[in-house]
């Protein structure tokens, strides 16, 4: 008699395909890039309508998960967006929520010390709450793909740092067209890429320390985006060079002294599939 497989077995029956996932994400993003180019509409200052492509990572991952394991796997995968129970030690909520704002405060202080005529941040509580909700939803859609689908198999092969560099670069590439569409220069995009790849290192560090919590990764991703919009004025004074150096320095410290990177290197093939 043939025994039916449990949902857990179904979830792990198909190994994830991160490179296929990356290609699918970029393909799904193309219509959003074209729409943004045609309309030139901004959702927020500096944020074109192409930002709606945040749904592409979860869409691409969902297609691949559904194909590999069926609806039960897909349901389990999507529920990872709220897997806060994985965060056993509440101390990890501190970097998840406060690390990016702290680094942006440092960037603000550096600009002030350098004599830049930058005003103080000014945004109402209602605006900040609205930004938190909007960016959390967008970050959850992205992190289900970047963290929930792609990170584990890439860590298995390349280690935590190698994985962070790969996902970070693809993540940056995903945003290149919208950045060009809002008039960012080559130098601006280059420095922004440094900061974005460094942020992915921090997200992988948090993800590994919270028992692979997509929810934790989402909080850090969302808090970074909120910090950018709160930065005076709606991010118009944001300096990607200063930000990139600060985030990269923090990421290098984490790589040098952060426990999860050493653990991931030692475990090697023991890193689990994302489901």
Is 10 domain-assigned?
no
Asked if pLDDT for residue 270 goes beyond 50, the answer is no
Measured CA to CA in angstroms, residue 53 lies from 56, 57, 177, 246 at distances of 5, 8, 11, 27
Position 11 in a domain: no
Query: Could you give the percent of the chain with pLDDT greater than 90?
Result: 76
pTM given for the model: 0.89
Q: What pLDDT was estimated at residue 256?
A: 86
Report if residue 4 sits inside a domain. no
Does residue 118 lie within any of the structural domains?
yes
What is the tally of structural domains in the chain?
A: 1
Consecutive H or E run containing 217 = helix 214-230
- Does residue 137 sit within a domain? yes
Least confident among 11-15, 161-165, 252-256: 11-15
Q: Tokens 């440094």 belong to which residue? A: 194
CB contact at 8 A, 26 and 174:
yes
Residue 8 lies in a domain: no
Give the tens place of pLDDT for each residue, 149-194: 999 999 999 999 999 999 999 999 999 999 999 899 999 999 999 9
> Among the listed ranges 6-15, 71-80, 183-192, 243-252, which one has the minimum average pLDDT value?
6-15
| Residue 81 within a domain | yes
* Spatial distance between the Cα atoms of 150 and 61, rounded to a whole number of angstroms: 8
Which structural domain range is residue 192 located in?
16-270
User: Which residues does 79 contact at the CB level (< 8 Å), separation at least 6?
Assistant: none
Between strands 42-44 and 47-48, the pairing is antiparallel
Mean pLDDT of 24-42: 93
Question: Is the distance from CB of 217 to CB of 95 less than 8 angstroms?
Answer: no
The first and second tokens of residue 170, run together, are: 């693809």
């Amino acid at each position: 008699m043939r025994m039916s497989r449990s949902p857990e077995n179904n979830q792990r029956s198909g190994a994830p395909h991160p490179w296929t996932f990356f290609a699918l994400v970029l393909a799904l993003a193309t219509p959003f890039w074209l729409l943004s180019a045609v309309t030139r509409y901004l959702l927020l200052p500096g944020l074109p309508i192409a930002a709606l492509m945040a749904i592409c990572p979860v869409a691409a991952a969902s297609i691949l998960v559904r194909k590999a394991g069926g609806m039960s796997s897909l349901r389990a995968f999507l529920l990872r967006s709220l897997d806060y129970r994985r965060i056993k030690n509440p101390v990890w909520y501190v970097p998840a929520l406060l690390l990016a704002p702290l680094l942006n405060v440092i960037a603000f202080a550096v600009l002030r010390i350098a004599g830049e005529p930058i005003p103080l941040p000014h945004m109402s509580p209602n605006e900040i709450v609205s930004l938190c909700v909007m960016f959390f939803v967008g970050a959850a859609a992205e992190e289900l793909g970047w963290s929930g689908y792609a990170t584990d198999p890439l860590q298995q092969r390349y280690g935590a740092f190698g994985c962070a560099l790969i996902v970070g670069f693809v993540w940056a590439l995903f945003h290149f067209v919208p950045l060009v569409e809002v008039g960012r220069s080559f130098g601006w995009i280059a420095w922004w890429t440094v900061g974005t790849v460094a942020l992915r290192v921090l997200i992988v560090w948090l993800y590994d320390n919270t028992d692979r919590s997509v929810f934790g990764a989402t909080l850090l991703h969302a808090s970074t985006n909120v910090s950018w919009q709160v930065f005076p004025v709606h991010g118009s004074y944001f300096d990607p060079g200063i930000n990139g150096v600060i985030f990269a320095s923090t990421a290098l410290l984490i790589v040098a002294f952060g426990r999860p990177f050493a653990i991931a290197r030692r475990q090697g093939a023991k890193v689990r599939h994302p489901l």
